[in-house]
A and B are shown apart, each in its own frame.
Chain A
Amino acid sequence: MQIESTTPANAEPDIIHMRWTQHRRIVRRRSWTVALLALLALVAALIDLFSGSAALSPLQVVHGLWSPDSLTVPMQVVLWQVRLPVAIMAMLVGGALALAGAEMQTILNNPLAEPFTLGVSSSAALGAALAIVLDWGLIGSSAAWLVPANAFVFALVSLMLLQFLAQWRGAQAQTLVLFGIAIGFSAHALLSLLQFMASEEALQQLVFWSMGSLARADWHSVSILAAVLAVTLPFSWRASSQLTALRLGEERARSFGINVTTLRHWALVRISLLAATAVAFVGTVGFVGLVAPHVARMIVGDGHRHLLPASVLIGAALVGLASVASKTLIPGITVPIGIVTALVGLPVFMALILRRSRGQI
């Protein structure tokens, strides 16, 4: 823009250059923060690997990772078939849910949105309940995969239904949130009906599934979730400028030439895949998708080029540390991770609501 300056001509370049330098310093600081968060997530994963009931010292773990033959066969199994898949799954689940939460909060312009507050967990639990109680699956999957496959399909269908409702007569962000809540309540009502009909054994299995547990992690589930995250992350990254523009309001984003409907559509597709895959393998791990993006926003701001990776890394670190807590809270027992994240998440959730009521978020 070339308009008349209100500052002296000779002073202007210095002022502009000074502000530009300050801006670049802020951007560099944010990039370093993201790098530090990556380190934090890695440290959380290492602590997760070191913790557990089996007598494996941190040194043995490091040796065992480098050369598996240095461990006895039972310890190799503990490290490679239990601890490592669980630690990696914790990182992946945290990263996937945080990414889904960050995108969801932006496209719905709602700081309290995350996949689980919009009915994904209830829908996934309904799918799991159909498999556990009635032994009924939507797709022809083997017995071992019946529960996760059903949970995946139901979670995906619930978000796709949300997607359909979004496009139906061009529903606005607030309407979408209400649709999500309605889907969640409907799924929950059907789930209650199945619980009412279920045998004692099936009910116990269903309750345990709903609590969210990393103990179910194996290399198959780890590789599937890793693949989903690897596929969605570059697309999220590519949409980061447009997502940032959406933080300035839908009308403004559209005036910049952004097709908000398409942006929202593809973001919901990514969110569906991430949340449905995560919930299928570990059950309900609430609050991570809500809390991690908020913490990230406080640290690196609203620019999605920093916000998205920071959310992923904070989510990974949070679930990694929650996994450690789940193994160490009660000696000899692994508390389901969903309980740990909910316990930590509830006070954070309340703090966010209070901050919101004061107009800070």
Chain B
Amino acid sequence: MSAAPILRIEQLRVRYRQREVLSGVDLGCIRPGELIALVGPNAAGKSTLLKAIAGLVPATGHIRYGDDDWSGWPVGKRVEHIGFMPQSTPESSNLSVLEATLVALRCTRLGARQSDELEALRTIEHLGIGELALRPLHELSGGQRQLAALAQAVVRDSPILLLDEPVSALDLAHQWQVMHVARRLADESRIVIVVLHDLALAAQWADRIAILHQRKIHSLGKPNDTITDQTLAQVWGVQARVRVCEQGRPFVLVDSIASPAAP
């Protein structure tokens, strides 16, 4: 895969009817190879920010990808650059994991049937769910469906990956596995933006952490610079101790709720 251009996000605003959901979000330049963890309290606008980048919700502001100005680009034009994994996973479909992955692959391009099927199978196998490939989605557990959803997002080999809470229903081993895959994908010159609630995971895997608070970016930077006692109190309203592990990454011990977090 050739190196991806830089993604630049400035002053992104989203309104739902009369309510402002994002008020001028700046993520600045995101370079190929970077894994950005997007964290923040509930309803901070994390999912909306991913959807705005993907073009799934109307937004104003500037999104530039290389020389292309994405402002006003419909989702159909961005789709060749973006692999998107939404938060919700379908529960009732009786498509198999392989069929669902193939749908993602063949919606945008029509290669030879056999090569597409083998590529989809390879992706599924690499995510460690090969034995589920022919099982229908409605028979899978929530965590297995999440891994199947990840396969649909990554199968198209997009240079930008937007993953909305990809580990929320996964056990520790699968969390590690998904974050490991996300890290590898970033290391292969992709831009990966992941919404996470677990600050330890964010600190362990991300190059930079963007904290969303009150509809804008509160802080953006390296894990050690963003995850601080002060930030935790201001953004999440918790009294917490931030310690640094042997690898130099921060981790958080929450002692109490300091004050109710601002909505």
Contacts and interface: CB of A to CB of B under 8 A. Distances in A.
Whether chains A and B associate is yes
B92 interface: yes
Nearest to A245: B103
Interface in B97-129: 98-100, 103-104, 106-108, 114, 117-119, 121-123, 125-126, 128
B90 A247 contact: yes
B52 interface: no
B188 interface: yes
5 contacts: A1-B155, A3-B184, A5-B125, A23-B98, A254-B75
A255 B56 contact: yes
Contacts of A12: 122, 125
Interface string A1-25: 1111111000010011001101110
B95 A302 contact: yes
A58 interface: no
B117 A23 contact: yes
Interface in B74-95: 74-76, 79-80, 82, 84, 86, 88-95
A223 B91 CA distance: 41
Interface range for A:
35 or more
Given A16-B125, A20-B117, A301-B95, A3 B88 contact: no
B95 A303 contact: yes
A303 B118 contact: no
A241 interface: yes
Contacts, number: 128
Given A3-B185, A361-B92, A252 B86 contact: yes
Interface of B: 1, 51, 54, 56, 74-76, 79-80, 82, 84, 86, 88-96, 98-100, 103-104, 106-108, 114, 117-119, 121-123, 125-126, 128, 130, 133-134, 136, 138, 149, 152, 154-155, 157, 177, 181, 184-185, 188
A28 to B, nearest CB: 13
A348 interface: no
Interface stretch (A117-125, A256-264, A279-287, A311-319): A256-264
Contacts of B51: 251
B159 to A, nearest CB: 12
Given A249-B86, A258-B107, A303-B99, A26 B130 contact: no
A255 B86 contact: yes
Contacts of A361: 92
B107 A1 contact: no
A255 B88 CA distance: 13
Nearest to A24: B117
A248 interface: yes
A248 B56 contact: no
